[in-house]
């Protein structure tokens, strides 16, 4: 069973080719990482999986259904997104951010409240519940965005650089959370610039360069093939 299948996905932004006939499949329950330099096309690809960006050509299947407008709401209801950029609501408090977001999923207020409370406790933001999000530090915002992506208890998680800007302890904490999500059977798609993170969390890795997927393999196999750790693989594969 595949959670996501991409077939020859190509994306042009005007004349810029951001994705070049990308094909991949992600099994359900797997943690799948996309690695590659800035501008390689990772965020573009992630945004396609939840229908935010439409491919110029190619097809995409998510949770067993071909992604199209008619089933987009139903599919998106089962996805949790942690975007690369901060898009919290700056006029709302920490808790309100989670509650307003949960309304988009039609989650009952009481359930949303309980869930928000637990998630806030888990990442140590509970004391900040009523603070305006503008008052949070960069890393705290990141954590809030992370748990916001979990508010609908998604089957598929899309994590675009989830731990960028986190201190080492917070990063470990998020790693543990990702691992426990994985153990509970969720499919996780992740981009990161931290090789250690990819090595630790990912069952499979796709190496991207200039809009193309160069190869897909397990971190172990990659290390064996290239005779070194993932960092060595990265530098060898993404040469200019």
Partner 1 sequence: MNFKRALRVWQRNATVYKKLYRSSIALNFFEPMFYFLALGIGLGGFIKEINGLTYLQFIAPGIVMSSAMYAACYECTYGTYVRMEYQKTFDAILATPILFEEVIMGELLWGTTKSLIYGTIILIVMLFFGLVNNFEVLLLLFYLIFCGLIFSSLSLIATALVPGIESFNYFYTLFLTPLFLFSGIFFPLEEMPSLLKSVFQFNPLFHLVNISRTLFYVGINGFVLYESIYLILFLLFIMPLPFLLLKRRYLL
Ligand X SMILES: Nc1ncnc2c1ncn2[C@@H]1O[C@H](COP(=O)(O)OP(=O)(O)OP(=O)(O)O)[C@@H](O)[C@H]1O
The contact set with ligand X (CB under 6 A) reads 13, 16, 18, 36, 38-44, 84
Q: What gap in Å lies between CA 144 and CA 138, rounded to an integer?
A: 10
CB-wise, 37 or 53, nearer to partner 1?
53
Angle at 125 between CA 119 and CA 129, to 5 degrees: 90
Contact stretch for partner 1 (CB under 8 A) within 69-77, 163-171, 209-217, 226-234: 69-77
Closest separation in Å from C-beta 79 to partner 1: 8
Site string for partner 1, 135-154 (x = CB under 8 A): --------------x--x--
CB-wise, 24 or 101, nearer to partner 1?
101
Task: Give whole-number Cα distances, 130 to 46, 111, 123, 197, in Å.
Answer: 31, 18, 15, 32
For residue 88, the partner it binds in ligand X, Mg ion, partner 1, none, with Cβ less than 5 to 8 A by kind, is partner 1
**Neighbour tally for 235: CB within 10 Å:** 12
Tokens of 37: 């330099």
Interacting residue with partner 1 among 1, 16, 69, 185 (CB under 8 A): 69
| Three-state secondary structure readout of 159-198 | EECCCCCCCHHHHHHHHHHHHHHHHCCCEEEEECCCHHHH
The verdict on 124 binding partner 1 (CB under 8 A) reads no
Judge whether 9 and 60 are in contact, CB under 8 Å. yes
Positions touching partner 1 (CB under 8 A) are 13, 50-54, 69, 72-74, 76-77, 79, 81, 83, 85-92, 96, 100-101, 103-106, 149, 152
């Amino acid at each position: 069973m595949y959670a996501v299948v991409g077939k020859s996905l190509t994306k042009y932004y005007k004349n810029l080719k951001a994705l070049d006939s990308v094909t991949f499949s992600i099994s359900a329950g797997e943690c799948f990482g996309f690695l590659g330099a800035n501008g390689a096309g990772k965020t573009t690809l992630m945004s396609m999986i939840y229908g935010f960006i439409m491919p110029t050509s190619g097809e995409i299947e998510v949770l067993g259904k071909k992604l199209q407008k008619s089933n987009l709401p139903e599919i998106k209801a089962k996805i949790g997104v942690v975007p690369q950029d901060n898009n919290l609501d700056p006029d709302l408090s920490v808790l309100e951010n989670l509650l307003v977001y949960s309304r988009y999923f039609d989650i009952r207020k009481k359930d949303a409240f309980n869930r928000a409370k637990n998630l806030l406790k888990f990442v140590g933001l509970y004391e900040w519940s009523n603070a305006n999000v503008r008052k949070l530090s960069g890393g705290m915002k990141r954590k809030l965005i992370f748990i916001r992506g979990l508010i609908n208890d998604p089957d598929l998680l899309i994590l675009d650089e989830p731990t960028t800007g986190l201190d080492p302890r917070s990063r470990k904490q998020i790693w543990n959370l990702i691992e426990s999500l994985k153990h509970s059977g969720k499919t996780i798609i992740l981009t990161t610039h931290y090789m250690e993170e990819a090595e630790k969390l990912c069952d499979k890795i796709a190496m991207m360069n200039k809009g193309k997927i160069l190869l897909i393999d397990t971190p172990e196999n990659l290390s064996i093939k290239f005779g070194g750790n993932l960092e060595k693989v990265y530098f060898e594969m993404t040469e200019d």
